[in-house]
């Protein structure tokens, strides 16, 4: 029996590999709907199953980790609805993609699910929801020649499965995928923006200091900052160090950072930089010192293209500042995949 498909939104509680991907050539007369995507699902399933293609047997080598997950059961390829209208397991268990009513304009991207007897894997291709809707919603894409843009590819699968999938994208859609490397400035800005977003109420007004402190401790918890070094000719023994900030100290760091200078946009990192420099004689702002990883209760990000987002907490009245903050963080990753810098300030949700 196949493992039960998770009911929660597929972005959450999974370590995801981040890749940027060039626009997919769909064709100017080819609509993107679930019926069309099921054709691609069947084609990829044939490859995974080792079927014969043009007289050549194709498929994954049996001498891989995939040989231990049992027989391939289903491959689905569907439009991914927004989280607000996600209906859970029933969506991903429809092997025939019977629902053809969802349009690309109303979706967040595409979701590919691959189910084996002992394993369940996913790939998520996300649209840029911040751009001109006409660019992503119509059949003819970026330049009028049938390209559609899904800049960010997130996969939960081993390399022995991810590589055939990206090769399938290249062969089918003339799209190339590459690892999304996140620079130090992105990681630090992303952390401070997340801390700021969860401290804003539904009315758009900042929470008071007592409520902000409670929210930070509840949603963020403790924070681990991984620091790396770019020292030419330096010792190979010095790779990274971890700086751990306890949950009760996070609100204090944010508060202190806001008092430094004239309203810094990154109060937590500014306060941490000042503290580490004073107590450890380590300058986090030095050009040879890099922030290579951020880990807190709400999310994980690192410079080599790994991410994990925790299922957001929702209050009794349905409010979820964590969900809004995570969506904005994902939007920032999409912008990075497109080659744009993360915008400082309150961007759209």
pLDDT band at 317 (very low <50, low <70, confident <90, very high): confident
Dihedral over Cα of 291, 297, 298, 301: its sign = positive
In a domain, 282, yes or no: yes
All residues at 6 or more sequence positions from 182 whose CB lies less than 8 Å from its CB, including other chains: 18, 301, 302, 303, 305, 336
Average pLDDT over residues 38-60: 72
- CA separation for the pair 101, 81 (Å, rounded): 11
Q: Which residues pair with 241 in a beta bridge?
A: 227
Instruction: Please calculate the CA angle 286-292-295 and round it to the nearest 5 degrees.
Output: 125
In a domain, 349, yes or no: no
pLDDT band at 237 (very low <50, low <70, confident <90, very high): low
**Residues 312, 217 share a domain:** yes
> What pLDDT, on a 0 to 100 scale, did the predictor assign at position 101?
52
Give the chain's domain count. 2
- CA separation for the pair 339, 124 (Å, rounded): 19
Cβ atoms of residues 60 and 72 within 8 Å: no
The domain boundary, picked from 121, 145, 179, lies at 179
In a domain, 8, yes or no: no
Length of the chain: 349
**Residues 313, 194 share a domain:** yes
Cβ atoms of residues 105 and 77 within 8 Å: no
**Residues 162, 24 share a domain:** yes
In a domain, 238, yes or no: yes
In a domain, 343, yes or no: no
What the block records as the tokens of 330 is 């994902």
Angle between helix 159-173 and 34-49 (nearest 10): 130
> What pLDDT, on a 0 to 100 scale, did the predictor assign at position 60?
57
> What pLDDT, on a 0 to 100 scale, did the predictor assign at position 314?
85
Over 50: is that where the pLDDT of 94 sits? Answer: no
> What pLDDT, on a 0 to 100 scale, did the predictor assign at position 263?
56
The domain boundary, picked from 137, 153, 179, lies at 179
**Residues 212, 292 share a domain:** yes
- CA separation for the pair 248, 218 (Å, rounded): 10
**Residues 127, 73 share a domain:** yes
> What pLDDT, on a 0 to 100 scale, did the predictor assign at position 341?
54
Residue 268: give the domain boundaries: 184-337
**Residues 37, 138 share a domain:** yes
**Residues 201, 175 share a domain:** no
| Between 313 and 21, residue with greater pLDDT | 21
In a domain, 49, yes or no: yes
pTM metric for this prediction: 0.86
What's the whole-number average pLDDT of the chain? 83
Contacts 24+ apart (CB under 8 A), 104-108: 104/31, 104/32, 104/33, 104/79, 104/136, 104/137, 104/148, 105/133, 105/136, 105/137, 106/81, 106/82, 107/79, 107/80, 107/81, 107/82, 108/80, 108/81, 108/82, 108/83
| Between 61 and 81, residue with greater pLDDT | 81
In a domain, 347, yes or no: no
Q: How many other C-beta atoms can be found within 10 angstroms of the C-beta atom of residue 325? A: 25
**Residues 150, 103 share a domain:** yes
The residue with tokens 């130090």 is 184
**Residues 119, 24 share a domain:** yes
**Residues 210, 330 share a domain:** yes
Q: Assign 3-class secondary structure to 234-277.
A: CCCCCCEEEEEECHHHHHHHHHHHHCCCCCCCCHHHHHHHHHHH
Over 60: is that where the pLDDT of 3 sits? Answer: no
In a domain, 81, yes or no: yes
Average pLDDT over residues 270-285: 94
**Residues 45, 152 share a domain:** yes
| Predicted confidence (pLDDT) per residue in 173-220, tens digit | 999 999 999 999 999 999 999 999 999 988 888 889 999 999 999 999
**Residues 315, 246 share a domain:** yes
- CA separation for the pair 70, 153 (Å, rounded): 26
The domain boundary, picked from 179, 205, 227, lies at 179
């Amino acid at each position: 029996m196949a493992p039960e498909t998770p009911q929660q939104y597929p972005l959450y509680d999974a370590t995801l590999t981040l890749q940027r991907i060039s626009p997919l050539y769909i064709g100017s007369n080819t609509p993107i709907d679930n019926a069309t995507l099921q054709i691609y699902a069947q084609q990829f399933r044939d490859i995974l199953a080792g079927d014969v293609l043009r007289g050549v047997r194709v498929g994954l080598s049996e001498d891989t980790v995939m040989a231990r997950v049992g027989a391939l059961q289903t491959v689905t390829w569907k439009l991914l609805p927004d989280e607000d209208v996600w209906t859970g397991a029933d969506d991903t268990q429809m092997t025939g993609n019977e629902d053809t009513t969802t349009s690309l304009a109303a979706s967040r991207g595409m979701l590919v699910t691959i189910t084996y007897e002992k394993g369940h894997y996913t790939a998520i291709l996300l649209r840029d929801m911040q751009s001109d809707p006409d660019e992503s919603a119509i059949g003819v894409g970026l330049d009028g020649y049938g390209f559609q843009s899904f800049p960010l590819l997130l996969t939960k699968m081993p390399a022995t499965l991810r590589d055939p999938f990206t090769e399938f994208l290249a062969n089918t859609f003339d799209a190339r995928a590459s690892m999304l490397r996140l620079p130090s400035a992105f990681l630090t800005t992303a952390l401070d923006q997340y801390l700021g977003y969860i401290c804003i109420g539904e009315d758009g007004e900042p929470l008071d200091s007592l409520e902000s402190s409670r929210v930070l401790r509840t949603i963020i918890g403790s924070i681990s900052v991984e620091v790396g070094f770019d020292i030419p000719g330096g010792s190979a023994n010095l790779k990274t160090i971890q700086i751990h900030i306890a949950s009760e100290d996070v609100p204090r760091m944010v508060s202190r950072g806001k008092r430094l200078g004239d309203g810094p946009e990154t109060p937590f990192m500014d306060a941490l930089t000042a503290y580490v420099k004073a107590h450890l004689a380590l300058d986090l702002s030095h050009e040879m010192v890099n922030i290579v990883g951020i880990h807190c209760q709400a999310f994980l990000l690192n410079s080599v293209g790994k991410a994990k987002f925790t299922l957001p907490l929702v209050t009794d009245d349905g409010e979820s500042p964590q969900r809004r903050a995570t969506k904005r963080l994902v939007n920032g990753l999409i912008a990075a995949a497109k080659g744009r810098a993360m915008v400082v300030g309150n961007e759209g949700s």
